[in-house]
Amino acid sequence: MSGLTMSDYASDGSRNGKKEALMNRLLSIKSKLEDNGVDGMLVSKRENFMYLSGFTGSFSYLVITANHSILITDGRYNEQAAQQAPFFEIVKYTKGINAELNEIIKKCGIRKLGFESLHLSYDKFLDLKEKLEVEELKPLKNVVESLRVVKDEEEINLIRTAVRIADEAFSHVLPYIKPGVSELEVAAGLEYFVKKRGGEGASFKTIVASGKRSSMAHGVASEKLIEDGDPVVLDFGAVYRGYCSDMTRTVFVGRKPCAKMEEIYNTVLTAQVEALKRARRGMTGKEIDSIAREIIKGAGYGDNFGHGLGHGVGLEIHEDPSVASSETAIEKGMVVTIEPGIYIEGFGGVRIEDMIVMGDDEPIVLTASPKDMIIL
């Protein structure tokens, strides 16, 4: 395939947002090759080849140069790749991946080939180093990820849908949370509903932590039966067309919580709402984190908030930027979570989490589920 230009896209006759987004991503990665001192780049991480090409299969290598965009896959995905990756030449390898890569290297005149050093295994690197006919294999870090950190309109729309599916799943499952029901049953209800609404599945292992287990920040659903008076932390998400959502709510079963738990809930809620209210474009992740952290610390629970305030979400459930100790500025189009929590071992815990996309100045909250205390 020759170098891609805006006129190439126009001549295709298609104006849909997906193709335009893919074209812009491909142009962006091509512009980074010279800056990184390589003639071409080998992309092997699944989320990265999905992002650049649109191909959603389980296996692919992309080889990208200034004038070529090539997707290598096997016979299982030939037709799918041709349909999903409109700006790539599709190559079905039949004689071994290294032999195919060498033909492409020769065809494209690649001398210095960049590779994703944070993804490629050491054994695979040694194999490529031995067998590829290039002058240099150059490790590259976060080249594609640096593009992924700011979401385009196409991505934000997909994330909005993933968030909406999770919101609907939360509303759906509330009537089923009652004494005698296991955490696993609640998790199954959430995950079933996600698929019923068009999601591909859960975006991570669903957390349902009740009673004293609610102090476990990552207390994935267990066989424990929910009891009267339990707090129940629900942390889950949906995947929609490859994009993830993430939300947390804490509810109470049967009756109002004790005074201490009510104080904890209100402290977390205040911290979460204030972080959303005061966050601004250009603030660092550390600065936004400190808004919530200072409120929790001021209430006497500083030692009980042991994780960062949030993280980026997109094709991966945890990706850049971090909303914790990071000095990275949160810019327009970045999608992150805001999720303070307080956890006291042997007693219980509370977490409340929304997803946001940073707007022109302030965050746009994507999650719509209520945050006022829910007593079931």
**Topology annotation, domain 6-148:** Creatine Amidinohydrolase; Chain A, domain 1 (3.40.350)
Residue 195: how many CB atoms within 10 A of its CB? Answer: 15
Q: Hey, do 6-148 and 153-365 end up sharing a CATH topology, with the first three levels equal?
A: no
At 137-177, the pLDDT tens digits run 999 999 999 999 999 999 999 999 999 999 999 999 999 99
The per-residue pLDDT for 313 is: 98
So what's the architecture of 153-365 in CATH? Alpha-Beta Complex (3.90)
Residue ranges of the chain whose pLDDT lies below 70: 1-16
Question: 164-178: buried (b, 16+ CB within 10 Å) or exposed (e) per residue?
Answer: bbbbbbbebbbeebe
Secondary structure of residue 67 in the 3-state scheme: coil
How far, in Å, CA of 350 to CA of 209, rounded?
Answer: 10
Q: Work out the angle at residue 140's Cα, subtended by the Cα atoms of residues 139 and 146, and round it to the nearest 5 degrees.
A: 165
Residue 92: how many CB atoms within 10 A of its CB? Answer: 15
The per-residue pLDDT for 47 is: 98
The per-residue pLDDT for 17 is: 84
The per-residue pLDDT for 16 is: 67
At 272-289, the pLDDT tens digits run 999 999 999 999 999 999
Q: Sketch the domain layout of the chain as residue ranges.
A: 6-148, 153-365
- DSSP tag of 35: T
